[in-house]
């Protein structure tokens, strides 16, 4: 059984994340979406809220599990028995960052392979931080996230 890990902060999950997760789940026997609990990073949603939003977003995909972690990604991958790390790429700068991280990850966990999936064209510009900015200014984000995520963002940002 090939287990893959798709780590990230997912603050919040977007349709771009869901696209990558859906496609990765077709490639591997089991995909574990790891929500990184980053106490030092400015996060809008708590780790529990992010786990719940991601679970709702992928509930229809049977071979996806969602959990949180607060260790190095490679340690999390070892813990769950993953041999593959899945990442989404939107643009060249994403590649440069992922390449740098993959070299460090390979040093720490040589058996871990990186698989990068190119984002769909419709999500190439989409990031959680940009999404939060648009939502905070009252922009329409309904076609960029599931409806329940849009509602949670509006509630969290206080612009019902």
Q: What residues are annotated to the active site?
A: 17, 41, 90, 128
* Residue 30, phi then psi, degrees to nearest 5: -145, 135
Residue 143's H or E segment, with its range, is: none
C-alpha Rg value of the chain to the nearest Å: 15
d(Cα 152, Cα 53) in Å, to the nearest integer? 9
Residue 44's H or E segment, with its range, is: none
d(Cα 115, Cα 75) in Å, to the nearest integer? 17
């Amino acid at each position: 059984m090939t287990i893959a890990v798709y780590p990230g902060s997912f603050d919040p999950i977007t349709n771009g994340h869901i696209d990558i997760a859906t496609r990765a789940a077709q490639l591997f026997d089991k995909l574990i979406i790891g929500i990184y609990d980053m106490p030092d990073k400015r996060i809008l949603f708590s780790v529990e809220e992010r786990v719940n939003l991601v679970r709702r977003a992928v509930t229809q995909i049977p071979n996806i599990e969602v959990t949180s972690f607060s260790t190095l990604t490679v340690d999390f991958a070892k813990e769950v028995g993953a041999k593959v790390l899945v990442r989404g790429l939107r643009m060249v700068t994403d590649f440069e960052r992922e390449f740098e991280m993959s070299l460090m990850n390979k040093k720490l966990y040589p058996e871990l392979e990186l698989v990068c999936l190119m984002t769909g064209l419709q999500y190439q510009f989409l990031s959680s931080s940009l999404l939060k900015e648009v939502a905070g200014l009252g922009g329409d984000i309904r076609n960029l996230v599931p409806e329940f995520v849009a509602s949670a963002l509006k509630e969290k940002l206080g612009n019902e």
